Every structure is written in structure tokens, then in C-alpha cells.
Chains A and B, each alone.
Chain A
């Protein structure tokens, strides 16, 4: 964390043309997913809250000012919804956790005999609620971590790091990603237009009636985009000698077959001996096919994201949190899973908490985002 001192360089050197090299999007994803993995190892609400705080701090200080970064809020809301729904279900449907601290008793709805396993209403115990809360918090933390990755790394840039042969697939995904916001904007615009016709602009019917025009619009836009991409050279291929082409096809197909056969072997009891070698060979052949296939594309990459020391540090901090929590879960499971029967107040185990704090490292080693939207940019005339 002592590396913080180097951070001030961009602020003191006002060179407009050098964008501070953004951290590799892959590193952010690995960091966030590692925090998420760490969250699966514990149900201690204090530790989970600490994990959420750590990821939120990094997001707030390091997310770029771009439209996709706003998805963090949506993920937080989703996580809250998960939490609430889980608690609501426990309250209404009861909980398998035996408890003695009854908070309130809901009137129980008698159900017919064929629904015997289900209970509707009845006593709500503190233990049941606590268990549900801990469990839901685990899931919520996981969601928030994914949201953090979305906010910190532009998903489109991550797809740019795909190998050449998969590039076209990557573009398809990028285009789909940019179309979703457009589609939502279309729905909003057309629903507003319904109001202009004197029809109610809310409600399900309104949504259904604009469905067709919205789809038409999306289709037209896709065709326009496809034309624009074609006119800009998308899909140009280099001439590849026929033998190389055939080898590519053979390797890819063979590889996929190998992977299928290997997986089958691993899953059936009889194939334990040949499963692993076939799988490995299949993966190797498929990778070879991908690599050879990459020779068909003439594309080059403009300023690819570099996997630099910072990316390593970011990844390492995330992986360290996950690894240490795995270790802690193995050595001291009681601290990471506070008991609900009997109900005890959870305590913050000291060294797992310190381990979680390691996840803050990216907030200090990566560069602060450029302010690209906040200040009104003067129009050059």
C-alpha cells in the first residue's frame, strides 16, 4: 500500500494526450470474482459486510465516469431485492431451522393434505430469520462483487482481449451489449408517444403495444449497423493456403469431439482411465485450431490493454483474499459460520477480517479515472 505515492504523477503532469493506462479489464474481473469466491466461504454477516464495503470503496474511488459504470447501482438494488425476498419467504413459508425465540406468530393457513410439506404462516423465529439473512447476504455479496467488476471494467474492452479467431463472436456480443440500452430508450420513447395519442402511458398493455414498433426499430438499426460495419471492412479475411484451412477445421472439430468424449469418460465410472488424457488432448487440439484460425483474420489491435504490474497486483490482492478465506474456513470454521442455534451474536474474527482488507489494494495501486463526463467540455469551434 506504500505505492500510493506514485499516484500523483497524472495530476501534476497535465498532458492531455496521455490517457493514464487503464488497468486491464481482466484483472478487475479476476479481483471481483475472487472477492465473490471469498464470500462463498463464510456466512458471518460482519465479514460479508466488510467484503461489500471493500468492493464498494474500490468502485467509488476507481470507477470511470462512463455509462456502463452506472450498473453498480442496479446490482446493489438487485442484491437488496434478493435479501428482502429471502426474508419475506422465510417469514411466510417458515424455516426448517428449529428455533425457540418466536418473534411473532402469523395465522397459519390450513393446506390440503397433498401439500403437506409446505407451511403457510405460523411462528416466525429469530433463528430462522438470522439463518435466512446470513444466507441471503452471501448471495447479495456475490452479486455486488459482479456489479463491481461491471462498473470497473468496460465489458466491451474485456471482449477485445479475445483471441483473433473468436473476434467476430466478441463483436456480436459487444453489439448486443450496446443494443440493450438503445432498446430500453426506444421503449421509453414509444411509451411516452402513447401519451401523445391520448392513451395511458403506463401499465402492461402500453408496454405490449409498443413491442412491435420497438422490435422493428431495433431490427432496422441492426441492419444499418451491419451495413456500416461491412463498409468499414468488418469481416475482411486473409487468403490462407488450403492445407492450413483444412488442418484448422480438423483440429477444431477433433478437439471438440475430444472434449466431449473426455468429459463423458470422466463422468462415467468405467471411463476413469481414458477420461483425463482424452480431455487434455481435446483441449489442446481445440486451442491449436483457434490459434491457426486466427491466421485468417487480418485484424490488428489498437492500443491493446497491457497486463502490467498493476494488473498483477490487482489480481493478486483478490486471489489473496479468496485463498486466505479458504484457509480460514478450513482452520476455524466456527468463526466464519456463526451459529444460529443457539442464537449468538456474530463476532468479527480478527485475521480473516485483516485478510479481507487486502482487497483494498487496487484502490491504491491503480490510477484514478479521468473525469470524462463531469465537467462540461468546451466545444472547439
Chain B
């Protein structure tokens, strides 16, 4: 569907769909440092596409979706408006960024921009958290919403987790025959259910009556500070009250039947997300992925290379590598499980494993940039990535990927292992298990 067709129909989308993506703000991005110092987290390239593009691409697959609203409180920046323009052009759908005046929590932004969301009378709207990474089952959710809830319910996208990891997420107890949500609790201390909130929803417009109730309750509660009154937490103020009580039980869970799902809370998870989206490209966009050509560099598994990157024919890449624009990779270099951002230079014989190499970095010959893999237990099909904190109880850096911020240079023959390097550092000796400020 082209842009004109979708745009002309934006004011007559009676009975159509909209989508909201909650993109958060720079306060959340702190967990994504040092990369978020240069770029808002939702625009960070995962598998070579800006993070949010994966959401948008999944959403536009449903032809009824007539508008996408990004809600967050990143400042309107050139980067953001360029991204929005690019996406509108590429996918032919109106996309707008609505900036919150303050962090409004997971539902405050939805409530604040209710008129924008409801304009044109959509029959329902999707809400996606930007910090999850999966093959969003947009079609299936819409269908579930029409068929199972009769087109007027509220649906949470659920996914399965193991008993221990479920405790770090919103847990959903389902009535198996009707898929109604009997109970909802955010991050319980003890096991409640192994179905977790996967960060996606489809709501009928009358969800706003519940948001209004939560909003009013905030204002009636004298214990809440003025500045925080407009902030609404979707989980505790809306989902938990809706679960298994009166209101005709309109809250449902749609369980993703298969496929990957992960939350991306910090930069360390980006390599994992990179791998997941690259593997998705094998089916959806094989044209994005590099192939072995006679006399060319060697490729293993899923590798995406920007056409402007220059790669020596003796380099070996993959699996699960993205190489950005203008990157130069020298003779005999090895890159595996990594994101190499635009204009970085990797000199001959260097080895980059489980790492993110920032924009404009220069890695000397025979240098080794290595992180620890954040792999899941291969014997547990529903294992999720754990969001460990940066440091362990001894104050040492937890094993994680290595991240080089923008413009870092690493001298020849050094090793940088399990280390986060802030932008524009020049490393003249090896580093292990450190944060270099």
C-alpha cells in the first residue's frame, strides 16, 4: 500500500487500526550508555536497521494499520525527524512522534495523547514497548482481538518463560479455555505463572475509561506529588485491576506460539537482539544478507554489510555480524557476533568477538576486542536473557559484551576484554573487566 493511499485514508479510518510505540526517553537510555550518548536508543541499529524499524516493519504488515504514533520524551532532534521521514517514505504510512512534556510512565503518554490516538475512530490500537525485540505477531493479535474478544476486549501479548525468570516480568494467569486474564502481577517475589507480558497490546478504545479512572485516582491521592500526578503505570494501575474482576472480564492474553522474544534493557543485550533479527532476515529479507562470492571475503551465517563498507578479501565475517556504512576491514581480520558501526576501521589480523565497535573507532593490527557471549541455556526453549546489573556483588563488572564508544582508538596488538570504553578514548594498553571513563 503506498503512502498516498494510506494518508488519504487517515481521516476516514473508521474501523481501522492504529499503533502506538512507547519509546521512553533519555533517562531509560542511561542503561544503553555509552552508545546512547550519540544516538537515542530507539534509533540504534540492530541488524543494520534502526531499532524501531523492526517494530514498524512488523506493524505495517497489517493493512488496516493507518497510523503509527511514537510516544516518548526524547527531545525532537534532527535524528528523530529524519528517521520519521525515512520510515514514512519507506513504508508509506503516516508516522508521528509525540513528545511527552515529562516522563509519564507506561500509560501516562497514552492517556495524554488520547485525542491523537482516537482521532478518526479506529476500532482498536496496538501498543508496543520499544525495548522488546521479537517477530511481532501483529496479524495474529488483530485476529485474536476480533475473534476471541469479539472486537471489544484488551489483549496482552504473552510469551512463555521459565519459572525462575518469570519473576522478573509481569506474570499473567490465563483461563485456558477463554484466554481471559484471571490474574496479573508485575515482578512477583514467588512463582505465579510462566506466561509473561511480552510488551505488546491491542486495546479497544474504551480502554480509556480505565486510564481516566487511573488518572483521576492519581489526582485524588494526596500522597502523590504534583509533578508525578500525570504519570500512570499501565501494569499496576490498569492491567492488575482489570485482571479477573468485574468489567465483564475484558482482559485477554494472546500467547505467541513460537519464535524469539527478548527484552533489550542494556547495550549488552544488543548483540543478542542483533542475532535474533539477523536470523529473521534469513526468511524475510535474504537480500539483506551477505553471501560468499568466489575470491571474496568469507562469510559464515547471517551477516549484513552496508554496501559502502570496504572489506578485504581475506577477512572472515560471521555469524551474526552487522557492518555499517563506510567501515573498513583489513586483511585477515575476523569479526563474529558483533555490530561494527559506521566508519569504524578494523586493521589487519584483528579479531572482534561479541562486541559493539562504535562509530569512527580504529582498531590496530592484531588487536582483539572480545566480550562474553550472552547466550541462553540451549536446553531451555523458553529461556530469556537476564537483565543483570552491570556489576556483581564484589563490585566487579559482570561478564558482558565489550562496547567501544564513538571514536575510540585501540593500539595494535592490545586486548580489550569485557570492557566498556567511553567515547573518544585512546587505548595504549590492554584492558580487562573495566569501564574506561
A binds B: no
